[in-house]
Amino acid sequence: MGAVQRIYGQAIAAGFCTADLEPPHQSRWDEWGKTHEDPRFPVYIWEEKGQVLGYCSLTPYRPGRRGLSRTAEISYFVDYSNHGRGIGRSLVLHTLEQAVALDFHVLFAIILEANQPSLDLLAELGFSRWGYLPEVFRYAGAWHGQVYLGKVL
């Protein structure tokens, strides 16, 4: 879990990659890890030469509501020294394939509107804009929105 936390911490420090403004408390990481013990909600790791360079996860959407059980949120993060190598694309493509095998019908991603690289990548991989929440994220003295991207599998 340490490498995942390190990579996520890079995203927080970069800004506009996550709505977290500081690293989550360990109890939140413990909860995140417990969620992903469920085989339907895996975390896929990209590793080279023993180093974790990225990860992609599927997370339940509104857990406990059985009518939504075939919908999941996809999230991915890549070590900043390895951006531009196609790791994110490969992780998302693999996760899309696995999501079909896991019997998901819909995947969605919540992306900050300023994160154009992620918006572009997901659009290239067949996600489309399903929603927009204006001014929900306060960062660097200004309000920013979140874009909901979805894909029917």
Could you read off the pLDDT of 67-81 as tens digits, one per residue?
Answer: 999 999 999 999 999
Q: For residue range 5-15, what is the model confidence (pLDDT) as tens digits?
A: 999 989 888 88
For residue 85, the 8-state DSSP code is S
pLDDT of residue 16: 85
Contact 57, 104 (CB under 8 A): no
pLDDT of residue 1: 67
Fold category of 2-152 in CATH? Aminopeptidase (3.40.630)
Low-confidence ranges of the chain (pLDDT < 50): none
pLDDT of residue 23: 86
Contact 8, 22 (CB under 8 A): no
Q: How many CA atoms lie within 13 A of 99 on its CB side?
A: 27
Contact 106, 152 (CB under 8 A): yes
Domain boundaries, the chain: 2-152
- Which single residue is written with the structure tokens 């469920």? 38
Q: How many CA atoms lie within 13 A of 120 on its CB side?
A: 4
